[in-house]
Amino acid sequence: MKHRRKKEPKNSLNLAVLFLVVFLFFIFVSVCFKVFYLIKDSNFDGSNSYNLEFVSSDRSYFVSFSPQEKSLSILKAEKEAKVLAPVDGTIDTDLDNTKIVSTLFKQLFTPASHKNITIIDLTRLALFSKTVPRSSIIERTFLGINDSRATFKDPKIINEAKSIEIINATDIAGLGNKLAVFISNMGGNVILVKTEEPKQNSKIIYYGEKTYTLTRINKFLKYEVTPSTKREVADVIIVIGKDGLKELDF
């Protein structure tokens, strides 16, 4: 007697396919979010200056990437030197000035060795460095403030020429002058530094439109930003209060 072969049930197959589709969908969404945040956290846009510090056991190499001038400026400084550099990202490795591109690409595979810099930044910086001719790579050794200003000057900040006033409203003497050096190293036009009675809150007051200068400075300070309708002595007034001390690593 012949027996009919039972048809294979399709429910289990459909369920497996559905599970696979859902699994792949969540992977896709996860990758999209990761790429989104990588792009969001990236700082080098290929148009504006970016400063990177390479840290070795006994010295630091500061490299300023300037797309506007299509140049690289390299500043070598001893470990204990007070450079007051506007650093966007840090890499814990020594630097061979003739191998900047390969050094940056290697960092794609050693994420634990760098800080405040994404793989997108590393890739963009490496590709930009590849286009810079050797004649446009300037090397200096840090001896004083003139070397740091020449290295980190930001053409866009210099062109905007916004006047800046700094008010030290803390108990720490000389803090306003140190911030003035830090901002001047970027090309900022600091016209006045003064001291006032201690205040708790730090803030930046600006007159007119928000500018690249304001955004660039506050990338490091992270202070509350307040617009003003009244023109003061300077276009930008920075008040250092007690709550802003943690952002000033001087």
Is residue 124 domain-shared with residue 195, that is, in the same domain? no
Q: Considering only CA atoms, which of 91, 87, 84 is closest in space to residue 110?
A: 91
Is residue 117 domain-shared with residue 161, that is, in the same domain? no
Q: Which one of 153, 172, 199 terminates a domain?
A: 153
Per-residue model confidence (pLDDT) at position 19: 72
Partnered with residue 125 across adjacent β-strands are none
Per-residue model confidence (pLDDT) at position 234: 96
Which percentage of the chain shows pLDDT scores above 90?
70
Number of domains in the chain: 2
Is residue 239 domain-shared with residue 183, that is, in the same domain? yes
pLDDT at residue 40 above 60? no
Strands across the sheet containing 59-66? 114-115, 89-91, 50-55, 59-66, 71-78, 137-141
Amino acid at site 7: K
What is the pLDDT confidence band of residue 151, given thresholds at 50, 70 and 90?
very high
Per-chain mean pLDDT for the chain: 89
The pTM of the full predicted model, rounded to 2 decimals, is 0.83
Is residue 57 domain-shared with residue 148, that is, in the same domain? yes
Per-residue model confidence (pLDDT) at position 9: 58
Residue 149 domain-assigned (yes or no)? yes
Q: Which one of 87, 122, 153 terminates a domain?
A: 153
pLDDT at residue 2 above 90? no
Q: Which one of 123, 153, 183 terminates a domain?
A: 153
Per-residue model confidence (pLDDT) at position 248: 86
pLDDT at residue 171 above 80? yes
* C-alpha dist (Å) from residue 71 to 113, 126, 127: 25, 13, 13
Range of the domain at 237: 156-245
Per-residue model confidence (pLDDT) at position 231: 84
Angle at 174 between CA 53 and CA 82, to 5 degrees: 25
The lowest-confidence range among 158-167, 213-222, 229-238 is: 229-238
Per-residue model confidence (pLDDT) at position 247: 82
pLDDT at residue 202 above 90? yes
What is the pLDDT confidence band of residue 43, given thresholds at 50, 70 and 90?
confident
The CATH number covering residue 193 comes to 3.30.70.2390
